[in-house]
Amino acid sequence: MPQRRRLVAGNWKMHTTVAEAVTLAEAIRASLPAQPGCDVVLLPPFVSLWAVGRHIAGDSRLQLGAQNVHWAPPGAHTGEIAAAMLVDLCRFVLIGHSERRQEFGETDRLVHRKLEAALTAGLLPIVAVGESQAQHDAGRARAVVAAQTRAAFGGCSEDEAARCAVAYEPRWAIGTGRAAAGSDAVSAADAIRRALRAMFGPVADTIRILYGGSVDQDNAPGLFAEPAIDGALVGGASLRPGPFCAIVAAAGSLG
Ligand code: PEP
């Protein structure tokens, strides 16, 4: 089984002005362990990518990503951002976050097209999947995340898949303060891993599977103690340098 380096990504969502984003990045830098022992990715709003990127340039502890990308090449899509426009700014991109799926009607098909566009541009995608409360209650979490994984990655080559991470984010756990139980996160990660193995064989075991949904400094150590969980996608807590860096430290110490 390949050793997977843990990854902690902070999704700042639609928070922070440019100045606030730089201040937050600076505060995170100040509190970050000297050697985090895991990959740490900041996902500020598009408008702050350049400024935050400049600020963290040269700090090998931090990497940068975007929260979204359009599926088409540069062209007439007012208000959108193409993958080719991101490559100068950041390495990572989050695709298929449940807020995009719910608020903007992003379907599995669109998630797949965005993944293709990101990979073609050379970005490192983090693909988010996760079930709703109703699907969870109906015992369908594993089936839902496996189907979303197959839909997102169908048609990708092994090399392309190896450049991706998957974030399991049960919708009912996002921003609610109600993180999934470790056993639920492990079960969903297992379903995702099996779906990836069916498509990509042994390469699937190199792909990092993160957990996201109300991760904080208190529940992070327990999550990271699960070998099936390779890191975290952090929303609310990523806006607070102390808790975010504590999560990073937990990931690094168990990495
Ligand atoms: C997220 O936005 O991906 C997320 C997991 O949010 P929170 O940590 O606030 O639940």
Query: Given this model, what pLDDT does residue 3 score?
Result: 81
Per-residue pLDDT averaged across 62-66, rounded?
A: 98
Query: Given this model, what pLDDT does residue 130 score?
Result: 98
How far is the centre of ligand 1, averaged over its atoms, from the C-alpha of 5 (Å)? Answer: 21
Please give the number of the atom of ligand 1 that sits closest to the Cα of 99.
Answer: 2
The answer to whether residues 163 and 147 touch, using CB atoms and an 8 Å cutoff, is no
Query: Given this model, what pLDDT does residue 173 score?
Result: 96
**Cα–Cα separations (whole angstroms), residue 40 to 27, 37, 144, 233, 237:** 14, 9, 28, 10, 14
Q: Whose CA is nearest to atom 2 of ligand 1?
A: 235
Tokens of 127: 């693909």
| 158 in catalytic set | no
How far is the centre of ligand 1, averaged over its atoms, from the C-alpha of 128 (Å)? Answer: 11
Instruction: Decide whether any atom of ligand 1 lies within 6 Å of the 11 Cβ.
Output: yes
**Cα–Cα separations (whole angstroms), residue 144 to 39, 47, 68, 170:** 28, 33, 22, 10
Given a cut of 90, is residue 1 above it in pLDDT?
Answer: no
Instruction: Decide whether any atom of ligand 1 lies within 6 Å of the 175 Cβ.
Output: yes
Instruction: Decide whether any atom of ligand 1 lies within 6 Å of the 37 Cβ.
Output: no
The pLDDT tens digits of the residues spanning 113-164 come to: 999 999 999 999 999 999 999 999 999 999 999 999 999 999 999 999 999 9
Domain positions in the chain are 124-226
Please give the number of the atom of ligand 1 that sits closest to the Cα of 97.
Answer: 3
Q: Which of 214, 216, 229, 248 to mutate to test the pocket of ligand 1 (most atoms within 8 A of CB)?
A: 214
Q: Whose CA is nearest to atom 3 of ligand 1?
A: 235
pTM > 0.95: yes or no: yes
Instruction: Decide whether any atom of ligand 1 lies within 6 Å of the 235 Cβ.
Output: yes
Instruction: Decide whether any atom of ligand 1 lies within 6 Å of the 233 Cβ.
Output: yes
Query: Given this model, what pLDDT does residue 150 score?
Result: 98
Which residue in 94, 100, 27, 101 sits closest to 64, CA to CA?
A: 94
Task: Name the average pLDDT for the chain.
Answer: 97
How far is the centre of ligand 1, averaged over its atoms, from the C-alpha of 236 (Å)? Answer: 6
The answer to whether residues 8 and 231 touch, using CB atoms and an 8 Å cutoff, is yes
Per-residue pLDDT averaged across 214-232, rounded?
A: 96
| 97 in catalytic set | yes
How does residue 211 score in pLDDT terms, banded at 50, 70 and 90? very high
The answer to whether residues 153 and 196 touch, using CB atoms and an 8 Å cutoff, is yes
Cα dihedral 44, 229, 148, 123, rounded to 10, equals: 40
Given a cut of 70, is residue 2 above it in pLDDT?
Answer: no
The interaxial angle of helices 141-153 and 108-121, nearest 10 deg, is 40
Cα dihedral 37, 42, 43, 45, rounded to 10, equals: 180
How far is the centre of ligand 1, averaged over its atoms, from the C-alpha of 72 (Å)? Answer: 27
Catalytic member of 55, 70, 97, 136: 97
Q: Is 33 exposed, middle or buried (0-12, 13-18, 19+ CB in 10 A)?
A: middle
The HSE-up count of residue 6 (CA atoms within 13 Å, CB side) is: 27
Given a cut of 70, is residue 254 above it in pLDDT?
Answer: no
How far is the centre of ligand 1, averaged over its atoms, from the C-alpha of 185 (Å)? Answer: 14
Instruction: Decide whether any atom of ligand 1 lies within 6 Å of the 65 Cβ.
Output: no
The pLDDT tens digits of the residues spanning 42-51 come to: 999 999 999 9
Look up the CATH number of domain 124-226.
3.20.20.70
